[in-house]
């Protein structure tokens, strides 16, 4: 299941005036175009194009342009995935707008299976659209790679005005589609491997599936061999219902405006560390190492610099401990000016957590790197973090913060370039309301 132009579709759900109107969504700090409705694609606006280069063209064509509203998109994604789970508990959330499902295959001839599965696809699409307002494409096949190939076919059918539901089981045009599907569009192949495969005669998905196993293993690796086997209908990639334990966790954002103010940068790093700690606790994890980094804009006027520093710490998910460690790392990484006295104008800062493992599985060293807290101290800190998370869940993010992050009331004013918002926050001058998660931004329905 793949959502159609997901970010644009989310904007349309709560604003009916956007139906049939070209819509584009911008990246962080309103830099590049990262989502386009079909109308914008038809105008020839490329994905990833810098907004400033196409601003006048978009305005002339009546395109509605929005800043990224990740809070809204994340909540709508959860609603879509919850809807899918009403059909089967076997759902792997692959990305914010995509998921794999496993369902029992009906019995019968290949043609009957194909018809039954396409009917089920239409049912799923109708329910997701009815419950969430998000249009989706649904495609079935024996393996994940073939299902992704079917999704590309569904996308082509949708662009031609057809129904975006495809089942490759027993489809009479299955072989023809795989013969004309470029190998670079096969899930997991990519541009570099795609060119190498074309040089070896594997220019399409069908030709890749027929390439000798020995050649694929020798010239590439076992990953591409599995892809070829999946194209043959041999499942090599089982559904992953349990999320894989993350190895690292990065939280960073570009600033709305470059800054040399170490206090502002410190607030940003503290906020990223606090958000990372909250993420760890939500997933039942702890981290044993933290690093903080800052960087300027690589191109443009002024000197360029990227700096970072890391620190080992007792495995923890405690906000106060991680914020304090991140600020210590920043103090060592921050430099105010180059050798000629020119100030560095930093554009981005963040933190990275490493040595992540499930809570309770950490192994204590013979020579601890810090004073080991007593059981009573650990219990008090755990209770404090639970209270912090509960308050922020009930009353909204950043309702309660550590002092190093700044004033909570200021931190929460991050929309529409508010002058009260921190200067290091992202620039999102075109952001729509967070309709589903903020009481003060709920959509208002007025009588005709």
Q: Which helix (H) or strand (E) holds 195?
A: helix 190-199
Write out pLDDT tens, residues 141-182.
Answer: 999 999 999 998 888 887 777 778 888 887 888 899 999 999
**CA 264 to CA 261: how far, in whole Å?**
5
pLDDT at 417: 45
- pLDDT score at 319: 94
- Please tell me the predicted confidence (pLDDT) of residue 376: 81
Residues in the chain: 448
Q: 293-303 pLDDT, tens per residue?
A: 999 987 667 88
% of the chain surpassing 90 pLDDT: 53
pLDDT (mean) for 62-82: 94
Beta-sheet strands, E only, within 127-263: 136-140, 165-167, 249-259
pLDDT of residue 334: 93
State how far the Cα of 411 lies from the Cα of 253, in Å rounded to an integer: 14
Tokens representing 211 are 């390439």
**Model confidence pLDDT, tens digit, residues 338-390:** 888 889 999 899 999 999 988 876 565 555 555 556 678 888 888 999 999 99
pLDDT tier for residue 420 given thresholds of 50, 70 and 90: low
pLDDT tens profile 7-36:
999 999 999 899 999 999 998 888 899 999
Q: According to the model, what pLDDT value does residue 415 have?
A: 46
Residues with Cβ within 8 Å of residue 311, at least 6 apart in sequence: 289, 290, 291, 325, 328, 329
> Which residue's structure tokens are 């005669």?
201
Q: Which two tokens stand for residue 311?
A: 């620190």
CB atoms within 10 A of CB 409: 10
In eight-state DSSP terms, residue 177 is: H
Taking the alpha carbons at both ends of the chain, their separation in whole angstroms is 37
What distances in angstroms separate CA 228 from CA 32, 189, 354, 424, one per listed residue?
35, 10, 34, 47
Confidence (pLDDT) at 208: 93
In CATH terms, the fold of domain 2-72 is: MutS, DNA mismatch repair protein, domain I (3.40.1170)
Question: pLDDT at position 15, please?
Answer: 92
List every span in the chain annotated with CATH 3.30.1490.100. 249-407
More confident residue, 330 or 105: 330
What radius of gyration do the chain's Cα atoms show? 25
* Distance between CA atoms of residues 432 and 98, nearest Å: 23
Strands (E), 4-140: 23-26, 33-36, 64-66, 91-95, 98-101, 136-140
By percentage, how much of the chain surpasses pLDDT 70?
A: 91
Residue 421, pLDDT above cutoff 70: no
Helix (H, G, I), strand (E, B) or coil at 354: strand
Provide the pLDDT for residue 30.
87
Instruction: List, in sequence order, every residue forming a beta bridge with 309; answer none if it has no partner.
Output: 292
Q: How many CB atoms lie within 10 A of CB 185?
A: 14
Q: 407: Cβ–Cβ under 8 A, 6 or more apart, which residues?
A: none
Which of 84-88, 101-105, 294-298, 351-355 is the least confident region?
Answer: 294-298
List every span in the chain annotated with CATH 3.40.1170.60: 2-72
Residues 36/11, Cβ–Cβ less than 8 Å:
no
Under CATH, which number does the domain 249-407 receive? 3.30.1490.100
pTM here? 0.81
pLDDT at 325 over 90: yes
């Amino acid at each position: 299941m793949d959502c159609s132009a997901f970010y644009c579709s989310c904007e349309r759900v709560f604003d009916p005036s956007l139906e049939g109107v070209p819509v584009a969504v911008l990246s962080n700090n309103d830099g590049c175009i990262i989502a386009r409705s079909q109308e914008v694609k038809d105008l020839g606006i490329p994905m990833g194009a810098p907004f400033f280069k196409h601003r006048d063209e978009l305005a002339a064509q009546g395109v509605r342009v929005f800043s990224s509203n990740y809070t809204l998109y994340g909540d709508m994604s959860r609603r879509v995935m919850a809807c899918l789970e009403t059909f089967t508990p076997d759902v792997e959330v692959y990305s914010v707008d995509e998921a794999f499902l496993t369902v029992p295959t009906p019995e019968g001839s290949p043609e009957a299976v194909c018809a039954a599965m396409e009917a089920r696809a239409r049912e799923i699409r109708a329910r997701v659209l009815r419950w969430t307002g998000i249009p989706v494409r649904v495609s079935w096949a024996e393996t994940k790679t073939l299902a992704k190939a079917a999704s590309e076919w569904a996308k082509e059918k949708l662009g031609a005005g057809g129904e975006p539901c495809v089942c490759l089981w027993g489809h009479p045009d299955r072989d023809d589609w795989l013969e004309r599907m470029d190998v670079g569009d096969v899930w997991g192949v990519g541009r570099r491997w795609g060119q190498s495969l074309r040089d070896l005669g594997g220019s399409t998905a069908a030709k890749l599936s027929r390439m000798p196993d020995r050649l694929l293993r020798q010239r590439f690796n076992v990953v591409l061999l599995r892809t070829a086997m999946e194209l043959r209908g041999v499942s090599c990639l089982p559904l992953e219902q349990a999320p894989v334990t993350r190895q690292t966790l990065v939280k960073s954002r570009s600033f709305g405006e470059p800054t040399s103010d170490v206090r502002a940068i410190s607030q940003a790093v503290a906020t990223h560390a606090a958000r990372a700690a909250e993420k760890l606790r939500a997933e039942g994890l702890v981290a044993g190492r933290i690093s903080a980094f800052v960087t300027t804009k690589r191109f443009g006027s002024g000197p360029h610099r990227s700096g970072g520093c890391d620190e080992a710490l007792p495995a923890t998910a405690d906000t106060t401990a991680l914020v304090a460690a991140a600020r210590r790392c920043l103090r060592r990484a921050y430099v105010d000016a180059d050798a000629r006295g020119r100030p560095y104008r930093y554009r981005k800062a963040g933190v990275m957590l490493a040595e992540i493992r499930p809570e309770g599985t950490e192994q204590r060293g013979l020579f601890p790197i810090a004073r080991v807290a007593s059981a009573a101290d650990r219990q008090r800190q755990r209770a404090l973090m639970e209270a912090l998370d509960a308050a922020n869940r009930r009353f909204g993010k950043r309702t309660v913060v550590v002092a190093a992050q700044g004033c909570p009331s200021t931190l929460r004013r991050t929309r529409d370039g508010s002058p009260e918002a921190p200067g290091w926050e992202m620039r999102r001058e075109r952001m729509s309301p967070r309709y589903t998660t903020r009481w003060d931004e709920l959509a208002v329905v007025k009588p005709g």
